[in-house]
Amino acid sequence: MRMIAKVGEWFDHRLQLAAPIREAAEHPVPRNTASWFYVFGSAALTVFILQLVTGILLALIYVPSAGEAWSSLQALNHQVALGWFIRAMHGWGSNFMVAIVLIHMVQVFLFGAHKFPRELTWVIGVFLLLMTLGMAFSGQVLRFDQDAYWGLGIGASIASRVPIAGPAIVKLMLGGPIIAGATLSRFFALHVFVIPGMLIAFVGLHVLMVLKLGINEWPMPGRIVKRATYERDYHALTKSEGAPFVPYAVWKDLFFAGFIILAVAACALYFGPFGPTGQPDPTIIQTAPKPDYFFLWLYALLSLLPPSMETPFLLIVPPVAIIALILLPFLSGEGEKSWKRRPIAVLTVLLIAITLGTFTRMAQFAPWSPHMNAWSGDPVPDRFVHGTTALERQGALVFQVKQCRNCHSLGDTGGKRGPALDSVAVRLTNDQLIRQVIQGGGNMPAYGNNLSPAETTALVAFLESLHPAGQAPAHDASREVVLSDSDHKEAIAQR
C-alpha cells in the first residue's frame, strides 16, 4: 500500500491533478439534489462514452466506401466473433442516447435549471441535443443499406428546397452530383471526427459549468430566482445543508449508469443489430425506405401536411424551434423554478411529447402509403363476391386488377391510403360512384383514361353491392321525384 501511495505521490508531484480532482468530487451540493431525478445527465454521458468505445470497435472492421460498406457490415454481423453484438450495442446505444438526452432536457426544463445563472449551460445543452441528432442521422447513413441510400435522398430533397442556395447545399451534402462514394465518405468524417470532436468539447464545457455554477437545487414552490440574490442564496444553501457530491449523491449516478449500460446490452442481446437491409443499389426499386425511430415523427408529418405548407414548414419551423430553445433561458431567466407553479411549461412539454409520440406511432403503420402488393397479394374476401351477379363479379375483378386495393381495403386487407370500401354503397350513390371513379378527387387519381365504359359499369356495379346486409345502398332521392312512376318502380327493382 505504501508503495502505491509513493507512486501516486510521484505522479501527482508532476501532474498536480489530485487537489483539483478532489475539490471537484467533494464540492458541496444541496442535499435534496441527491435524487433519482438528477441522474439523467450522467446517464447521457455514460451512453456517450459507451458509443465512443463501441464506435471505435466498429471502426476496426467497417469500411467507409460505398462499394464495400455494406459487405463490411455483413462481415461484422456474420463473420467477426461478436461483431453483431457490438453493432447492436452501438445501434441501441444511439437510441438510448437520443431518449436520455431528451429526458434530461425535459427534467432540466421542468426543474427550472435553465434559469439564471445556468443559461449558457442550457444553450450548450441545446447544441448537444442537435449534435446527438446529427450523430443519429449520420450513423444511419453509415449503415449503408437501402434505407440509408433513400434516406439520403429524402435529406437531399429537403435541403434542395432552401431558396437559392438549395442546389449548392445538396451538392455540398452529397459531395458530388449523386448519392455515391463521396457522400458516404463525408458522412463518415462527420460521424467519426467532426461531430464527436465537437461533442467532446461541448460535453466538457457543459460538465465544467455544472461544477462551477453548482447543481440546480431542488425547486421549491415560491422560492423565486432573482439575479441579484440567487447566487448568494445558493451558496448559503450549500453551506447550511450541503453535502459532498462524492459520495453523498454520486452513488445514485453510478447505479443508474450501470443499469443503463446493462439495459443497452440487454436490448442488444435480445433484439440484435439494426440491419443492414438490402444492398444500396439504386436499381433495386422494390423498397419502402423508413427512417430510424427518432425521425419517424418527421416522416409522418411530411405525409400529413398539406403539400403547399410543406416547404415553408420545413424551412421555417426547425430554425424557429432551435432559436426558441436557445432564447428560452433569456426570456425566462428569473422567477418560479418549480413545475408546480409553471402550468404553461408543463402543458408545453406534454403537448410536444404527445404530438411527437402520436406522429411516431402513425409512422409505424404508415397508413398513407399504398400497399404495393395488395392487388396481387390480397384477394377480395369471399363474402364480398358471394351471391353476386356476373356483372358484379366482373367488377370485383376490375377492382383487383386496376390496383384499387393498393389504396382501398376490403375486409381489413389492402391499403389504407384511401377509405375502406366495405360499405361504400351506403355512402355514395350510383352517380357519385361513377363520378369518383372517372374524375377522382379528394386525393384519389382520376381513372377515366384508364377504364373502358364496360369496366366502369362493372366496377360501379360491384361497388354498389358493398353494403351491410341490413342497410340499403344510398340512392338519390331527387331521382324518384323526377322520374315517372313506372321508371321509379323499375329503378327500385334494379337495386
Partner 1 sequence: MSTKPVMAASSEATVSRRGFLMKLGILFNGFAAMVLAVPIVRFLSSSVTRGRANAYLSWVPLGSIDKFPEGETRLATFQNPYVMPTDGKTVDTACWVRRIAGDKFQVFAINCAHLGCPVRWFQQSGLFMCPCHGGAYYRDGSRASGPPERGLFEYPYEVKDGVLTIQAGELPTPGAAMASLCTEKPPCA
Q: Which three cell numbers stand for residue 114?
A: 435553465
In angstroms, give the least distance from the CB of 172 to partner 1: 6
174 near partner 1, judged by CB under 8 A: yes
Helix (H) or strand (E) holding 29: strand 28-30
Q: Which of 168, 262, 321, 352 binds partner 1 (CB under 8 A)?
A: 168
Q: Which of 177, 319, 387, 470 binds partner 1 (CB under 8 A)?
A: 177
Identity at 148, one-letter amino acid code? A
179 near partner 1, judged by CB under 8 A: yes
Site string for partner 1, 204-243 (x = CB under 8 A): ----------------------------------------
Pair 89, 97: CB distance under 8 Å: no
Site string for partner 1, 260-299 (x = CB under 8 A): -------------------xxxxx-xxxxx---------x
Site string for partner 1, 365-384 (x = CB under 8 A): ---xxx-x--x---------
Question: Looking at beta carbons only, is 246 or 434 nearer to partner 1?
Answer: 434
303 near partner 1, judged by CB under 8 A: yes
First to last CA, the chain: 99
338 near partner 1, judged by CB under 8 A: no
> What is 436-491 written as a DSSP string?
HHHH-BTTB---GGGS-HHHHHHHHHHHHT-S-TTSPPP--HHHHHHS-HHHHHHH
153 near partner 1, judged by CB under 8 A: yes
Question: Looking at beta carbons only, is 253 or 378 nearer to partner 1?
Answer: 378
Give the residue from 145, 131, 186, 106 showing the smallest Cα distance to 292.
145
**329: which residues sit within 8 A by CB, 6+ positions away?**
114, 115, 116, 118, 119, 122, 123
Site string for partner 1, 408-427 (x = CB under 8 A): ---------x----------
Which segment (48-56, 98-106, 120-128, 157-165) binds partner 1 by CB under 8 A? 157-165
In angstroms, give the least distance from the CB of 165 to partner 1: 9
Q: Which of 27, 31, 341, 402 binds partner 1 (CB under 8 A)?
A: 402
In angstroms, give the least distance from the CB of 193 to partner 1: 14
Q: What pairing do the DSSP bridges indicate for beta strands 28-30 and 242-244?
A: antiparallel
In terms of phi and psi (left: phi > 0; alpha: psi -120 to 50; beta: otherwise), the region of 435 is: alpha
* CA 357 – CA 363 distance, rounded (Å): 10
Pair 92, 264: CB distance under 8 Å: yes
157 near partner 1, judged by CB under 8 A: yes
Identity at 52, one-letter amino acid code? L
- Phi then psi for residue 3, to 5 deg, are -60, -45
Strand partners, 444: 441
Which segment (21-29, 31-39, 98-106, 168-176) binds partner 1 by CB under 8 A? 168-176
Q: Which of 32, 77, 107, 160 binds partner 1 (CB under 8 A)?
A: 160
Q: Which three cell numbers stand for residue 303?
A: 405525409
Question: Looking at beta carbons only, is 92 or 447 nearer to partner 1?
Answer: 447
In angstroms, give the least distance from the CB of 288 to partner 1: 4
Pair 148, 292: CB distance under 8 Å: no
* Cis amide linkage into residue 306, ω under 30° from 0: no
Q: How many residues make up the chain in this entry?
A: 495
Q: For the segment 58-77, give every residue that binds partner 1 (CB under 8 A).
A: 65-68
Instruction: Tell the residue number behind the cell numbers 459507451, with chain if given.
Output: 50
Q: Which of 16, 308, 478, 484 binds partner 1 (CB under 8 A)?
A: 308
In angstroms, give the least distance from the CB of 168 to partner 1: 5
Which segment (100-108, 166-174, 238-246, 383-391) binds partner 1 by CB under 8 A? 166-174
Q: Which three cell numbers stand for residue 38?
A: 438528477
Q: For the segment 434-473, give every residue that binds partner 1 (CB under 8 A).
A: 440, 443-447, 449-450
